[in-house]
Amino acid sequence: MYDAEVHFKNLYDTVPRTYEFHETSREGFLTWQAAFRPKLREILGLDNMESDLADYVPKAEQLEVLDLDNHFRESWYLWVEPTVPLPFYLLRPKEIKDKVPLVLTPHGHNHPHIYAGIAHTASEEEHMLAGERDIARQAAVEEGYIAIAPTTRAFGETRTQAAKETDRTHSCRDELVHGMLVGRTPIGERVWDMSRLIDWAIADLPVDADRIAITGNSGGGTVSLFAAACETRIAVAVPSCYFCTFEGSIGTIHHCDCNYVPGVMRLGEMYDVAGLIAPRPFCAIAGRDDGIFPIDHVELAYERLKEIYTVAGVGDRCELFIGEGGHRYYKAGAWPFMRRYFQK
């Protein structure tokens, strides 16, 4: 009798991974990275996007500035491609005396405004505060950084009209299937957006280009990990409730369609992808009781990633913070780690 689980497990066990990490020297590590990163960018569709948009120059438009008690919150669009005005919130401390760190806070499968500290209903406020999801507000108010809370493509204003009319939170499947027809992926498009925001911020804001971080929960953790793997201007990566193994999470547990990149496991496992972030500091945040990114697979992935960082000569820059709860953000794991590398 056919057993799907046995079949899928056999695929994961037998398909060769071209860039599975086996190096033992720093020189080997550097050679491995130089070969792997271009292939990852290729399967994400970033090469296609760069080619298709080679002559395009993004433009930004400010919509609103709110003077709040302890920070400024601005609403913007950035046209990341001619047909995509990407909404984002820009949060600034009240006083900026010198260039400060920039923190990108991509959100997961919830509403974009929550990361900026905005709740439209009592249930949203409870969801935001109980899970410490007002991440951009934390960055600006509690840490004194400039924060960008972007809309993740297929959410908010970038949903399809059908999703808006039926009040669906996202239209990720639509993004996936249409993108695949032209050689794109949702993760690749979202990584593209992070790079365009970095371009704009460096050019137009008082940010320190050497102190750029990215952190987000769940789907925001996905964007954080892949963006940092592809975008070397990101100096510190803190993905929350995503870092795991592909096999133990999206490969065996039902997840949103946007998580899937055709052929990624022919290149490597998730810890190999995260290895592209080394030698830059990396802290994975996990919930001990996270039901969709199981902690045993998180710990296995962390041990493998720690080996990569050790071979790279920076084993002390790779950490795992485990929160005593479920699938949510744990700010105690993020800001002390980031602060350590952002202090001058």
Where do the domains of the chain lie, and which CATH numbers do they carry? Answer: 26-342 (3.40.50.1820)
145 token code pair:
């950084």
Instruction: Report residues of the chain scoring pLDDT below 50.
Output: none
In angstroms, how far is CA 149 from the centroid of its own chain? 12
Query: Average pLDDT, whole number, for the chain?
Result: 97
The enclosing H or E element of 90 equals: strand 84-93
310 token code pair:
């050790």
pLDDT of residue 344: 65
Q: What is the model's pTM?
A: 0.97
235 token code pair:
């100096």
Q: At what angle do helices 219-230 and 186-204 cross, to 10 degrees?
A: 70
In angstroms, rounded to a whole number, what is the distance separating the alpha carbons of residues 237 and 215?
Answer: 6
Complete edge-to-edge strand list for the sheet that includes strand 282-287? 60-67, 71-81, 84-93, 146-150, 100-104, 207-217, 236-240, 282-287, 318-323
State which amino acid sits at residue 196. R
pLDDT of residue 331: 98
For residue range 64-103, what is the model confidence (pLDDT) as tens digits?
999 999 999 999 999 999 999 999 999 999 999 899 999 9
Please answer whether residues 112 and 153 qualify as being in contact, where contact means their C-beta atoms are separated by less than 8 angstroms.
Answer: no
